[in-house]
Amino acid sequence: MDKIVSLCKRRGFVFPSSEIYGGLANSWDYGPLGVELKNNIKQLWWKRFVQERDDMVGIDAALIMNPKVWEASGHVSNFSDPLVECKKCHIRFRADVIDLKKACVSCEAKDGFTEPKQFNLMLRTFLGPAAALNESEPRPGGREEKANVAYFRPETAQAMFVDFKQVLDTTRKRLPFGIAQMGKAFRNEITPGNFIFRTREFEQMEIEYFIAPPKNDKEWQKHFEDWQKEMREWLKEIGVDMSKVHETEISDEERAFYSKRTIDFEFDYPFGKKELYGLAYRTDYDLSQHEKFSGASLKYRDPETGEEFLPHVIEPSLGVDRTVLVVLLSAYTEDGDPDAKKVGAGRVFLKLKPQLAPYKAAIFPLLANKPELVKLAREVYDDLRKKFPVAWDDRGNIGKRYYSQDEIGTPFCITVDFDSLEKKDVTVRDRDTAKQERIPISNLETYLAGTCL
C-alpha cells in the first residue's frame, strides 16, 4: 500500500489535499494522471451501462436536494453509526469496529469508552442568506436552522427514485429499465482512512434497475443474478485481479430491513478484506417512501394491461475511488526487467488495461540533440495528440524514458530514430513484454485505436 501511495504522489495520480496548508485529514486530490485514470473508468462505465444498452438511461441530478428526500429515504433517522469516545484521550471510534472491552487503540489506556451514541453520517449545510445571519453555525433547533438546513447527498441513488416519474414521462421506457448516475457523495465518516478507500467526499456510480413487482422469488432472482454477473464482467473488463474479489452474501440480521437480498463485492486490500461494491434488491421500498412523503404518484402504468403499480428495484452500487484503488493495486507489478541490459535490473510497471491508461503512448526522438529526429518525432506526436492522449519525452536516455512510462502504465513507447527518417517507420515498444516492432508511421493511428479504445 505504501508503494502505491508513494507512486501516486510522485507521479501525479493522487495528492494529499490542501497540502501547503498542512493538508486536510483523509482528503485527496486527483492529479494530472489520476484525473485521466478516473475519467477513463467513469467513461467506460457510462458507455457500458448506459450508452450501449437499450434498457438504461442516465441522469445528473443536483447534489443538494430537498431535505425531505432524506426524511423519506430514512437517512435522517437511520443513516448513522454508533460512536464511542475513549474516556482518557477523547478520540472517537465506531463502536461496531473496535473491541470495547480492550484498551484504546490510540492511547492504550484502559479507562474504557463512553456509552455508544448514534451519530448521523450526513453532512449538513445551511442554504440562503438567513444562514449567514448567524456567522457560526445556527443555533441547534433554532428558526434559521430548521428553515435552511440541507444535506450534501450521502449517495447518488435517491435522485433516481425522486426523478423516476420525469424520466418515465420523457423517455417512455418500458419495464424493465434502469436509471444510472455518477457523481459525488458525502458522508461524515467517523473513521475515514486507508488512502482513497474511505473518505468523507467520494464518487459513486449507481444504477437503479426497475422491474415489475415479481410474482415469485424466481422473477427478481433472475434480474439480481444478471446484475451480479454484470458487475463481475465489469471488474474483469477493467483488469481487477479476480482472485482477490469475493462475493459475500449478507445475512438476514446484517441486511437493511427493506432489502430482500444483498451481496457485497469484497476485495483483499493490503489492509484486509473489505467492501468494494454492493448489490441489493430493495423491493419497492424507496418509491413507496417517496410516494408517502411527497404525495406524488410514482406508479408505472403497464401499457398493455393498463395496470398501475410501483416497480421494484435492483441496485448495483459502485464506488469510483475504490475502483481506482483496486485497479491500481491489481496493475502494480514489480518484476525482473525483460529489458534489463538497457534499464537496469528490476522495474515497476502498472499493467493497466490500455483503455484505462492515462497516456496511450509516449513519443520519443532517439536523441534530443538531433534536430531532424526531433522534428519528425514532433510531427508524429502532434498528429497522434489529436486522436489520443499521448506523452512527449526527450530527457535522458531511452531506458530511463521507458522506465518512467512503465511506471505510469503507458502501454506503448514510440521511438523515432535515424531509420525513421528514410523508411518512415518507428519502433513501438510494448509495456508488458518490452518487445519492440517496427511500424509504419502511417499505421500508428490504426495500431493504437485497435488496442487502446
Mask 298-337, x = binds ligand ATP (CB under 6 A)? -------------------xxx-xx---------------
Residue whose grid cell is 467526499: 201
Please name which of 365, 359, 366, 352 lies closest in space to residue 391, comparing C-alpha atoms.
359
For CA atoms 180, 182, 188, 189, the dihedral sign is positive
Stretch that binds ligand ATP, among 173-181, 239-247, 272-280, 357-365 (CB under 6 A): 272-280
Q: Is 377 helix (H, G, I), strand (E, B) or coil?
A: helix
Cell reading at 255: 441486511
For CA atoms 301, 306, 309, 312, the dihedral sign is negative
Under rule CB under 6 A, residue 278 binds ligand ATP: yes
Q: Which residues pair with 425 in a beta bridge?
A: 440
Nearest to ligand ATP of 199, 283 (CB atom): 199
Residue type, 351: K
For CA atoms 95, 96, 98, 103, the dihedral sign is positive
Under rule CB under 6 A, residue 291 binds ligand ATP: no
Minimum Å gap between C-beta 186 and ligand ATP is 9
Please name which of 364, 324, 329 lies closest in space to residue 350, comparing C-alpha atoms.
329
Sort residue 291 into left (φ over 0), alpha (ψ -120 to 50) or beta. alpha
Minimum Å gap between C-beta 433 and ligand ATP is 33
Minimum Å gap between C-beta 354 and ligand ATP is 25
Cell reading at 193: 482512512
Under rule CB under 6 A, residue 360 binds ligand ATP: no
Under rule CB under 6 A, residue 187 binds ligand ATP: yes
Number of residues that bind ligand ATP (CB under 6 A): 16
Under rule CB under 6 A, residue 34 binds ligand ATP: no
CA distance 40 to 411: 15
CA-to-CA dists, residue 269 to 9, 137, 243, angstroms: 19, 39, 12
CA distance 420 to 427: 9
Nearest to ligand ATP of 283, 415 (CB atom): 283
Nearest to ligand ATP of 183, 358 (CB atom): 183
Nearest to ligand ATP of 187, 282 (CB atom): 187
Nearest to ligand ATP of 173, 255 (CB atom): 255
Nearest to ligand ATP of 76, 175 (CB atom): 76
Residue number closest to ligand ATP, CB atom: 319
Under rule CB under 6 A, residue 199 binds ligand ATP: yes
Task: Classify residue 408 as exposed, middle or buried by CB count within 10 Å of its CB (0-12, 13-18, 19+).
Answer: buried
Under rule CB under 6 A, residue 227 binds ligand ATP: no
- 384-396 b/e with 16+ CB inside 10 Å = b? beeebbbbbbbee
Under rule CB under 6 A, residue 347 binds ligand ATP: no
Under rule CB under 6 A, residue 202 binds ligand ATP: yes
Which position among 204, 330, 410, 415 is part of the footprint of ligand ATP (CB under 6 A)? 204
Under rule CB under 6 A, residue 75 binds ligand ATP: no
Under rule CB under 6 A, residue 262 binds ligand ATP: no
Stretch that binds ligand ATP, among 58-66, 273-281, 382-390, 428-436 (CB under 6 A): 273-281
Mask 136-165, x = binds ligand ATP (CB under 6 A)? -------------------x----------
Q: Is 71 helix (H, G, I), strand (E, B) or coil?
A: helix
Half-sphere exposure of 262 (CA within 13 A, CB side): 17
Q: Which residues bind ligand ATP (CB under 6 A)?
A: 155, 187, 189, 198-199, 202, 204, 275-278, 317-319, 321-322
